[in-house]
Amino acid sequence: MRTTRRFLRLVQGVLLVLLAAYSIFPIYMVTVESLKTVDEDVFGSPFYVRHPSLEWYQNLFEEHEWMTHARIVTRTVPFLVWTRNTAIVFTAALAVILLSSLMAGYALGRLRPPAWRGWRRVLLATFLIPQTILFLPLYKVVFHLHLDDNLLALVLTYPMLAIPFCAWLFSVYFQKLSPDIEESAFIEGASRFTAFLRIVLPMSWPVVIAAGLFALGVISSDFMFAGVFLPNQWHQTIAAGMATMDVSLEDLSVVSGISLGGLPVLLIAALFAGSYVRGLTAAMIEGA
């Protein structure tokens, strides 16, 4: 009996190590690849780097238009500009997504206008519309609004990708949240708005984080819209810029760009992963 239990724990341990390795492996590969010199890229091992160097990262910070690595001349890119643009777009889009989803979720889950279940389903259903060639008519819209080559084009179109689920999440959360919490505030004479701002919102932050992280995941996996709407290199986000570099032929600076662009995300994920799970649980099951 005791040996079987020990055996099972060993199996679990091995599986856990495998799981962690499987999860990190591609990110690790990208990091290793980005730190290699030209020599080591060709003759070294794919799994580790013997003499790490940051030379490819220099391509990302435009000092000259071209840089020489060993005997290879490569183009540099304005990565800092891209990073700033990405930060602007993501912050603005996230704010729009969270605010409108929070409002819609509260309306559907708490105030429940006629046909609220229908509204919620129709909103969620738009999540399934395949975006394959939708970007073309969308580009016509963007063009007519004179938003092409403008970061606002993404701030306008990204919310559509994330609102369906975020609004759903908030609405099932508010639906399950006990109304007593606000009622006690109403008795004290607070308005619905004050009660929401002072009492409901502060206790709901895991759900806000869950929705926010989900939205971040969705908008950060977009290549298409960013690439199509932002043709000018100096107005691009990281995703758009990376998409213009032909990845299968281009030098290692693409890879270093990826690992640099991924860093803040890893940090955010590590910080908020716990709250993300708590928020999902609260919305889908408990209500508090």
Partner 1 sequence: MAQTVAVPSGAKSGPVFGRGELARRRREVVVAYLLLAPAVLLVFGVLAYPLGWLVGVSLTNSSVLDTDTKFVWLGNYAAFLRDAEFWRGSANTLGYLAITAILKMAVGVGIALLIARPFPGRPLVFVATFLPWAYPGGLGAVGWYWFLIPPLHSSYSVFMGDLHLFFDSRLGPGTWGFISLIAFNVWRGGSFVGIFLLAALNGIPEDLFDYATTEVKSAWRKFWMVTVPLLRPFLALATFLSLIGAAVDLGNVYYISGFRNVYPIVWTQAFHLALFGGQWGRAAALSLILMPMLILILFVCYRVFEPLEEDVA
* Span 43-82, contacts to partner 1 by CB under 8 A: 43-46
Minimum Å gap between C-beta 201 and partner 1 is 14
The binding track of 140-179 with respect to partner 1, each residue x by CB under 8 A or -, is xx--------------xx-xx--xxx-x----x--xx-xx
95 binds partner 1 (CB under 8 A): no
Angle (nearest 5°) at CA 103 between 196 and 128: 145
Indicate the burial class of 1 (C-beta count within 10 angstroms; 0-12, 13-18, 19 or more). exposed
Cα–Cα separations (whole angstroms), residue 122 to 76, 161, 223: 46, 14, 26
Among 6, 7, 23, 48, binds partner 1 (CB under 8 A): 23
189 binds partner 1 (CB under 8 A): no
Instruction: Say whether residue 202 binds partner 1 (CB under 8 A).
Output: no
Q: Which two tokens stand for residue 264?
A: 């803040």
Q: Identify which range of 53-61, 62-70, 77-85, 248-256 contacts partner 1 by CB under 8 A.
A: 248-256
How far is Cα 220 from Cα 130, in angstroms, rounded to an integer?
17
Under the binding rule (CB under 8 A), the answer on residue 200 touching partner 1 is no
The one among 50, 223, 231, 233 contacting partner 1 by CB under 8 A: 223
Kindly tell me which residue out of 55, 147, 154, 222 binds partner 1, with binding defined by CB under 8 A.
222
Of 96, 112, 78, 106, the closest CA to residue 169 belongs to 106
Q: Restricting to residues 264-283, which ones interact with partner 1 according to CB under 8 A?
A: 265-266, 268-270, 273-274, 276-278, 280-282
Among 1, 4, 133, 202, binds partner 1 (CB under 8 A): 133
Strand 66-69 vs strand 72-75: parallel, antiparallel, or unpaired?
antiparallel
Q: How many residues bind partner 1 (CB under 8 A)?
A: 114
- 235 or 253: whose CB is closer to partner 1? 253
Q: Answer whether 60's CB lies under 8 Å from 125's CB.
A: no
Contact between 268 and 216 (Cβ < 8 Å): yes
Minimum distance of partner 1 from residue 21's CB (angstroms): 8
| Angstrom distances, CA of residue 23 to CA of 29, 49, 215, 231 | 11, 20, 21, 34
